[in-house]
Amino acid sequence: MFRSILLVSALVAGVAGTVHAQDRKGTDRLQELKAQFRKLEGRHPGIGENVERRRDILKQVAAMSDPAAMQFLVDVARNGRCSEFHAEVLQVLAEKGLDLAQVAVLFQDLLVEGGPHRHLARTYLLARAVARQDDSFLAGLFVKGGIEDRFLALDAMGRLGSLATLSAAERLLADPDWRPREGTAVCCATIAAALRRAEGTPAAQVLLLLQRDPRFRPSDAYAVREATRLWSRRDLHSYVELKSLCDPDVAKRVEAARFMGNAGIEAARAPLLLIARDRTEHPAVRAAAAEALGGLRIARGDLASRLEWLLQDPDTEVRHGVLRGLARLGVRQAGEVLVDLLDGPLASDARAALTRAPAPPHDENWPAWLATLPEGT
């Protein structure tokens, strides 16, 4: 038994000695390569043969797995006298995907707007954040970065299942300033794909609004289908709860009414009409309901007549909501109501509403404009 223990100990010691010798050999080789590089660096660094010899040394260093070798590459990438190697070294560090602090700090420093290596730095840092299951970098990039940064950060948040994904998607959808960019992540499809792990009413509402957004393209529809493919309910409308229109909180009732109109929830037509007419309801909610009716796309001619009747309401806020609803309907019957008001006490309010209507004429040729509107259906 004792002899067996001695034998095992000897074997372990032998293996450890071999590993130590190999490590020592690798360290010595790295030191040798570093010395050669620095020696060449001081000898006419711009000469072609010198550049190629140093490039070969860097390739040998890049083949090593020693963190000290990676630190040397980081030092080269920071060395202003080695600018001809910067792109190659950075590419090597990014492709290795090593989760080393010194590499991450280097790429953080390169993540400056307009920097020549910003794209590579961003790619590395996004991949690192996903690999580490850490969304702190993603949240920071979403807040401080440009529009493409925000979309890429959202995509990574979605892959992580980050709790910040939904609010980030809502913020992008509510931002009117971005436009889809071909060949980039800046599109509605990215927003949809990010929500694949966020099943529930809030995510369904975002997707319903997304599909009504003017930036939504037919090619984005596939991303919506894929995002909801594993959801327990396939119809997004089944996640919408009309009872939210009766929430005890006034602000939430207003928000619910606006959502129903913006998402075109046709099932909300009757409740919205009831709320708009109910003089016991808060004026802000009634105004929101009236405006929301203008976002529906069924029986729009009939809705124009019902909204016209509400113009008699004594509350100014409600009347303004009615005018906005009429402008949103985009049918001839609603346009005629608004044009007729231009000669009455509501003229200024009607004119303001008409500026929000579909393509109003600049020369105030209202008859010609009305002729371009479809009949309500």
- Model-level pTM? 0.83
- Cα 163 → chain centroid: 14
Q: With residue 188 as reference, give the H or E element that holds it.
A: helix 188-194
Q: Report CA dihedral (127, 65, 92, 137) to the nearest 10 degrees.
A: 20
- If one counts every other C-beta atom within 10 angstroms of the C-beta of residue 275, the result is 24
Residue length of the chain:
377
Q: What is the dihedral of CA 355, 361, 366, 368, to 10 degrees?
A: -140
What's the gap between Cα 239 and its chain centre?
Answer: 22
- Give φ, ψ of 235 to 5 degrees: -90, 115
CA 105 to chain centre: 25
Task: Please give the angle made by the CA atoms of 172, 177 and 182, to the nearest 5 degrees.
Answer: 80
Tell me: pLDDT of 4 over 70. no
* Cα–chain center distance at 255: 22
Which amino acid is located at 61 in the chain?
V
Per-residue pLDDT at 20 exceeds 80:
no
Show the tokens assigned to 329: 């309907």
- Residue in the structure block whose two tokens are 């993603």: 138
Angstrom distance (rounded) from CA 46 to CA 340:
79
DSSP secondary structure letter of residue 215: T
Is the pLDDT reported for residue 211 higher than 90?
yes
Nearest 10 degrees: Cα torsion 59, 61, 64, 66:
-150
* Digit-coded pLDDT (tens) for 32-81: 999 999 888 776 655 678 889 999 999 999 999 888 999 999 999 999 88
* Cα–Cα separations (whole angstroms), residue 223 to 162, 220, 229, 239, 264: 19, 5, 10, 18, 20
- Tell me the pLDDT band of 8, cut-offs 50, 70 and 90: very low
Q: Is 277 helix (H, G, I), strand (E, B) or coil?
A: helix
- pLDDT (average), residues 167-178: 97
pLDDT of 11 strictly over 60 = no
Highest mean pLDDT among 16-25, 60-69, 147-156, 226-235: 147-156
pLDDT at 175 over 80: yes
Q: How far is CA 110 from the centre of its chain?
A: 22
In whole numbers, what is the pLDDT of the chain averaged over residues?
90
- Please check whether residue 206 is in contact with residue 195, taking contact to mean a CB–CB distance below 8 angstroms: yes
371/331 Cα distance (integer angstroms): 10
| Residue closest to 242 by CA, chosen among 206, 270, 220, 277 | 270
**Both structure tokens of 103:** 């590499």
Q: pLDDT value at position 44?
A: 63
**What is the torsional sign of CA 262, 268, 273, 278?**
negative
Between CA 250 and CA 283 the distance in angstroms is: 10
The CA distance from 312 to 316, in Å, is: 10
Q: Is the pLDDT of residue 292 over 90?
A: yes
Structure tokens at 259: 């959502």
Say how far apart CA 336 and CA 373 lie, in whole Å: 10
Tokens of 343: 């000669």
